[in-house]
Amino acid sequence: MIITKNSNGWCQIIKFVSMSQNTTANNKRIAKNTIFLYLRMFIVLILTLYISRVVLEVLGVVDYGVYNVVGGFVAMFAFLNTSMSNGVQRFYNYDIGESGGKNISQIYTTALYIQIILAIIIFVLAEALGIWYINNVMVIPADRIVAANWVFQFSIISFLSVIVQVPYAAAIMAYERMNYYAIVSIIDVFLKLFAVINFKFINSFDTLIVYGFVMMLISATNFFLYFIYSKKEFASIRFSKDIDKPLLKRMISFSGWNIFGSFAYMIKDQGLNMLLNGYFGPIVNAARGVSYQVSSALNGFSTNIFTAFRPQLMQSFSSQDYQRTTSLMFSMSKFTYYLMVMISFPVMIEIDYILHLWLGENVPDGTAIFTILVILNMLVTNFNPPVSQVVHATGNMRKYQVITSVILTTILPISWVALHFGTSAVSVFWISLFVAIVNQGICLIVLRGIFNYSIRAYIRKVIIPCTIVSVTVLPIPFFLHSFLEAGVTRLILVLITNTIASFAFIYFVGLTYSERLLTKEIITKNTKRKS
């Protein structure tokens, strides 16, 4: 670096040093938040898998399927709340990056008004449509109709608490208090663990009804934990009677277009769940529920990276650092995929043994193939959040959401046609996978018209390295799996082999020269600290 003597030169140097320091500090913050989130995830993952086993054992396959399809009906309305949740956090992050958080109070007030109105609308719609649908359309054994109605009411109340907590949870995420977010998640899963352990001693009450009631209480507890912390820690989270009407219009407009995307994902998930229930009954819903339990557990790994990166991505865009925005999008896409390769491949290869080890003899028919296809779908869709987050940062949602939503909503009619002509339940999962691949390609094209980045660079730096790593890693643990008998020994060897092969190919093929240097630096520093 050449230091010039004129004042403008000095200013440029100071600015450069300041930006470099800020970038380093932001990267450290991302790393720290990621650590908190992964600590949370490991605890939640282990306990959630155990909880799922106990719940399936206590409820039985039929009741487990009933709970999934009834809860899924309520979750249909989540697309409205998801749209607002993403919008609130986006406005929080944008304001922090642009003005240092001067308008947070007004954003909070506006968001709270919107969420309360939204809660009322969802309550009315759910009660009007839900009771009729459960009692007249859903395929539920006659002796479980009463329990299903109770579960429905509890699910509605649980969902309403999730809606109202959005302004508080979004503030915690925007201010990057991932440690507290992790604590609440851990409390949540320990409460569920305590509840299911005691289910085995319930004899005088209907277990399905009790399970729904307890889940409702835990949801309410989560709300109060977010509410109390936000009010205590963030001085800007203060309610005002005055509404900023221009801000209200901007938030509704942003969330309004975002609804299209959320609605499409609702159709993809809960719509298909209801379709499967209509053709095959609650046992298939139970198998699908288990498969999504596995994929959700795995997806938690990538979600942690998205959660840690998202505030920085939003703030970099709001401060007009578009180069860093692009870099963060590429890094999120590539790192999450590599992580999922390391975790997902052994699960897919050993899925039959894992399900038997996890659930014993209570594995619903079709669960293994459902799980494999859901994981493959997850690997594809993991490329989407970094792209959509950049779109959220721009605020230009209309074109992106309309196009991608139209593509995703085709899953339901195509699946209905396939099932109408006698195909098996597996066909629905194949259709979802195909549409997900098409949608991801379209997303990249649409983003190019909104945000100035190179698709060629994305393909060269993200898609090609990820593809090469996948093709080279997968055969190695699969070869080992083919020559050994099923058991704990094979499972461990497949895990170890996949991990070693993944690390090797990711390091030498999947990372750039600068990324390898950074990896060496991190490993060296950690080694010195331990010694």
Q: CB–CB of 316/328 below 8 Å?
A: yes
Q: Please report whether residue 478 resides in a domain.
A: no
Q: Please report whether residue 15 resides in a domain.
A: no
Structure token pair of residue 422? 């006698």
Nearest to 461 by CA among 341, 327, 344, 342: 327
Q: Is the pTM of this model over 0.75?
A: no
Amino acid at 481: H
Q: Please report whether residue 530 resides in a domain.
A: no
Structure token pair of residue 523? 């490993």
To which H or E segment does residue 146 belong? helix 145-164
Report CA torsion sign: 477, 479, 482, 483.
negative
pLDDT in tens, the chain (531 residues): 333 444 444 444 334 344 444 555 555 555 555 565 556 666 777 777 777 777 777 777 778 778 777 776 676 666 566 666 767 877 887 777 676 767 788 888 888 888 888 888 888 888 888 888 888 877 788 888 888 889 888 888 888 888 888 888 888 877 777 778 778 888 888 888 888 877 766 666 778 888 888 889 998 998 999 899 888 888 777 877 777 788 888 877 776 666 666 677 776 777 787 788 888 877 787 888 888 877 777 776 677 666 666 777 777 887 778 888 888 888 888 888 888 888 888 889 888 888 888 877 777 888 889 889 989 988 998 888 888 888 877 877 778 878 888 888 888 899 999 998 888 888 999 999 999 999 889 989 988 888 888 889 999 888 999 999 999 988 888 888 888 888 888 888 988 888 888 888 888 887 777 667 656 655 555 445 444
Contacts of 399 (CB under 8 A, 6+ apart): 446, 449, 450
Q: Please report whether residue 4 resides in a domain.
A: no
Q: What values do phi and psi take at 423, rounded to 5?
A: -75, 165
Looking at the chain, how many residues does it have?
531
Buried b (16+ CB within 10 A) or exposed e, 158-180: bbbbbbbbbbbbbbbbbbbbbeb
Q: Please report whether residue 367 resides in a domain.
A: yes
**Burial zone of 421 (CB within 10 Å; 0-12 exposed, 13-18 middle, 19+ buried):** exposed
Q: Please report whether residue 526 resides in a domain.
A: no
Could you list the residue range(s) of the whole structural domain that residue 304 is in?
28-473
Q: What values do phi and psi take at 146, rounded to 5?
A: -60, -45
Q: Please report whether residue 464 resides in a domain.
A: yes
If one counts the domains in the chain, the total is 1
Residue 403's SS3 state is helix
Buried b (16+ CB within 10 A) or exposed e, 394-409: ebebeebbebbbebbb
Residue 252's SS3 state is helix
Q: Please report whether residue 323 resides in a domain.
A: yes
Half-sphere exposure of 369 (CA within 13 A, CB side): 10
